[in-house]
Structure 1
Amino acid sequence: MESTIKKSDFVLAPYMKSNNLWATYQIFNTLVPYIFLWFLAFKAAAISYWLLPPIIILLTLFSGRCFSLMHDCGHYSLFSSKRVNRVIGFMLGVINAIPQYPWSRGHAYHHKTNGDWERYRGPAALISTAEFAKLSPSAQWWYEFLRHPLMLFPGGFFYLAIKPRLALLAGTYDFIRHGLTCLKQDPGIGLAKIISSHKSRNWYTAGEFWDLLFNNICVISSWILFGYLLGFGFFFSVYSITLTCSAALFICVFFVQHNFDGSYAHKTEGWDYLLGAIQGSSYLKLPAIFNWFTADIGYHNIHHLSERIPNYNLAACHQRNMHLLADAKILRITDIPDCFKFILWDADSDQLMSIAAFRQMTQSRSQHPAPSFLTPAEPAEVLANKVEV
């Protein structure tokens, strides 16, 4: 499949300019309510715990907005200054307990390979139908179970609260073991050489390590500080629920923007970046209030056409280029549950499919095998004389 539309056909450049004043306003209209809601939750808990649910819902939504703005900082689009994006992005990452710089570098890889399912298998680490067929029945059950929508909640909590801490511990242990091995082989080796020869599986550059380290220091320090100020029971209860639901929310949004019926899911050979952006990303049509909390990330195909477009310009850019987005998938909230069944990639047909559809296809093939022109009654020399079809 080749696109008849070129990227140059889209009007993108006017919308790629960052507005520092508007970006600053977005930071304030997100962080001020978020901090106030924590104060309100603390006061409400002293009166009745039944007052907390609506406050926690709002905390979750503002936490999700913090993540969306952090995402813009990772693309260096929220502010015009790269340094300001790094500083603000780091701060927003601390709020959601995730190291922003390593996350943004991994996310950049997603942008470079979107729609190429040989190189990038999405946030749920999907496998191909061929790989799934080789699994034992129990392994197939576990694969499907771990990608059930309800697993967004424990998975989301692990993704934010636990995984970055484990990454630092595992990486540090790996580095110490590497250092001891180097010293055993060469007692005179210097620290600089030990560091330069170490290749970690938990970070790829020194910048990622320092961001991971300082994020952990800030996050764990804030847990201790606010636990002491607000009460450890209250703080960790509200914080855990907020973080879990927030992570589930933005992982859900990210998942459905790429996993849907008809999504562009190609092999590396013949993969097209533009088709990956337009047909491999959906336009998630949300109510205005949810567009605000998600920072307009629903205009996802436009975002993939140019990640340098800040969130506050996405809607206008989408409107300006609507005539070129006829092939874009439009999803609504009611379509979201259906997207979660597309958890297998079929390399033969270059499409995503459900496990049920794959099993039905496999059963159909076993019941109706492809006809063979070479039968026992027709040896090869007879077949050679047949008229070519």
Structure 2
Amino acid sequence: MHDTRISQLKKIIAPFEKTNTMSSIWQLINTLVPLIILWYAAYQTLSVSYWLTFPLLIVAAGFVIRTFIIFHDCCHQSFFKSRLANDILGTITGVLTVVPYEQWKLSHSIHHATSSNLDKRGVGDIWILTVDEYLSAPLWKRFAYRVYRNPFVMFGIGPIFVFLIQYRFNRKGARRKERLNTYLTNVLIVLLYAALIWAIGWQAFLLIQGPIFFISGFLGIWLFYVQHQFEDTYYENEDQWSYVKAAVEGSSYYKLPKPLQWVTGNIGFHHVHHLSPKVPNYYLEQAHNSTPPLQKATTITLATSLKSLRFRLWDEQGKRFISFKELNAFYRKAKSATESI
């Protein structure tokens, strides 16, 4: 896609950068009400059979993801016209998704501003090393990176560490507003969970909230991972980096079945979202369908997205992700070059 053409895309989708208050309120209703009903229904079925309970928990976890999308739009000030309304709702939905609003809003804005920029990695994104960086790294760093990129660690331990531990603490140098919001979120989570434990008992609470927390956390990390980790994605150094190219070529269109697309709040149209975060989630599909160039973005499906599990390192020469298995060829080449000197 030529630079001249791609630079016009933001202008084309500008009409979708608007908030519809009624659509936002309706989305709140059709997200939070089913979540509450599913949670209560799961509790009622505990006395019958956990085989009845668990399917409800899976569906409830999907609605937690949908709640997070509302939280996410609030962070971009795209859910309501009022900044105050976005901040209040963002904090409330942050409690429900155990994510501090101000802390995540900042790191996510940095992610948008630096996505696919090789010189500005490290905030709000997944740890990525290039082939050259990995080959020149000390043994301990290579080991740490392999552990980090292991699917069991990233999607199994990751949700527990990130949502349960990391988000409970402020980053170094956090401003007062951010620190207070993290404290408020933690206190409200404790109060909410204490009330539920008082009402139904700690065993029932863990049997319900535990799986919901883990499944929604796993799915959340998977969605974030897969929409930037595809084979021919876009990465460049600062001097060659383009915000628009990073959005359209560095973010995928995750084409999901309609029910999953609805539950995940259209976040599969990630290329549209990165191009313009001001587009509310309920307009992302329209923006995609109304803009032919955006329809040429890399499309992945449930089946093809599984291939991303083997992507580990960014090959700057080939402009693509490679696996650790493919790395062996690079290692032998580098070793031969060293020995010939």
Task: Give yes or no for the alignment of 1:127 onto 2:129.
Answer: yes
Give 1:217's aligned residue: 187
**1:205 aligned onto 2:175:** yes
> For residues 161-192 of structure 1, what are the alpha-carbon distances to aligned partners after superposition, in whole Å with 9 as ceiling and x for unaligned?
22223x15xxxxxxxxxxxxxxxxxxxxxxxx
Once the two structures are TM-superposed, the CA of residue 153 in structure 1 deviates from its matched residue by 2.4
For residue 207 of structure 1, what is the amino acid of its counterpart? Answer: K
Structure 1 length-normalised TM: 0.81
CA distances 1:129-150 after superposition (whole Å, capped 9, x unpaired): 2332234556534422332223
1:289 pairs with 248, 259, 279, which one? 259
Contact 1:266 1:351 in 2 (8 A): no
The aligned counterpart of 1:241 is 211
Q: Is the 8 A contact 2:118 2:237 kept in 1?
A: yes
One-letter amino acid of the structure 2 residue matched with residue 126 of structure 1 = I
Query: How big is the alpha-carbon RMSD for the aligned residues of Structure 1 and Structure 2?
Result: 2.2
| Contact 1:153–1:245, Cα closer than 8 Å, also in 2 | no
What is the rounded CA distance, in whole Å, between the counterparts of 2:106 and 2:244 in structure 1?
21
**Aligned mates of 2:61, 2:148 — CA distance in 1:** 23
Q: Taking structure 1 as reference, are residues 364 and 131 closer, same or farther at Cα in structure 2, changes over 3 Å only?
A: closer
- The Cα shift of 1:308 comes to 0.1
- Shift in alpha-carbon separation, 1:32–1:203, aligned structure 2, 3 A: farther
Q: Note the 1:95-114 alignment, pairs <5 A.
A: 95-114=96-115
For 2:162, the equivalent position in structure 1 comes to 159
The residue aligned with 2:31 is 30
CA distance in 2, matches of 1:305, 1:108: 13
Q: How far apart, CA to CA, are the structure 1 residues paired with 2:207 and 2:173?
A: 30
Any idea what SS the aligned residue of 2:12 has?
coil
Name the CA distance, whole Å, in 1 between partners of 2:86 and 2:121.
26
Q: Distance in 2 between matches of 1:259 and 1:49?
A: 36
> Structure 2: which 5+ residue stretches go unaligned?
none
Q: Percent identity?
A: 28
After alignment, is 288-297 or 337-346 more displaced? Answer: 337-346
Looking at structure 1, the residues matched to 337 and 261 of structure 2 have their Cα atoms a distance apart, in angstroms, of: 48
Q: Partners of 2:147 and 2:158 in 1: how far apart? A: 12
Give per-residue Cα distances to partners, 1:227-277, cap 9 Å, x unaligned.
111110110232121111101101111111111111001111211111101
Q: Which moved more, 1:357-366 or 1:262-271?
A: 357-366
Match of 1:385 in 2: none
Shift of 1:314: 0.5
How far apart, CA to CA, are the structure 1 residues paired with 2:279 and 2:15?
9
Give the whole-Å Cα distance in 2 for the aligned partners of 1:136 and 1:339: 26
Structure 1 residue 369: Cα displacement: 8.1
Of the structure 1 ranges 348-357 and 76-85, higher mean CA displacement relative to structure 2 is found in 348-357
Structure 1 residue 3 and structure 2 residue 6: aligned? no
**SS of the counterpart of 1:345?**
strand
**Residue aligning to 1:337:** 306
Aligned length: 338
Report the CA distance between 1:367 and its aligned residue: 4.7
Q: Which residue of 2 aligns with 1:196?
A: none
**1:29-48 counterparts in 2 under 5 A?**
29-48=30-49
Contact 1:115 1:265 in 2 (8 A): yes
Question: Partner amino acid for 1:86?
Answer: D
* Pair 1:370–1:288, CA change in 2 (3 A): farther
Give the direction of change, closer, same or farther, for the CA distance of 1:363–1:136 in structure 2 (3 Å limit).
same
The letter of the residue matching 1:256 is V
SS at match of 1:352: strand
Any stretches of 5+ residues in structure 1 without a counterpart? 169-200, 373-389
Q: Distance in 2 between matches of 1:99 and 1:56?
A: 23
Q: Which residue of 1 aligns with 2:246?
A: 276
- The partner residue of 2:283 within 313, 336, 339 is 313
Output the amino acid matched with 1:268.
E
Alpha carbons 2:39, 2:208 under 8 Å: kept: no
Larger radius of gyration: 1
Q: Distance in 2 between matches of 1:120 and 1:146?
A: 16
Residue 349 of structure 1, CA deviation: 4.9
User: What is the CA distance between 1:370 and its match in structure 2?
Assistant: 11
**Contact 1:296–1:311, Cα closer than 8 Å, also in 2:** yes
Deviation of 1:48 after TM superposition, in Å, equals 1.8
Q: Deviations over 1:310-359 (max 9, x none)?
A: 01110010001123543x11100011221122222344555433222222
Other-structure match for 1:75: 76
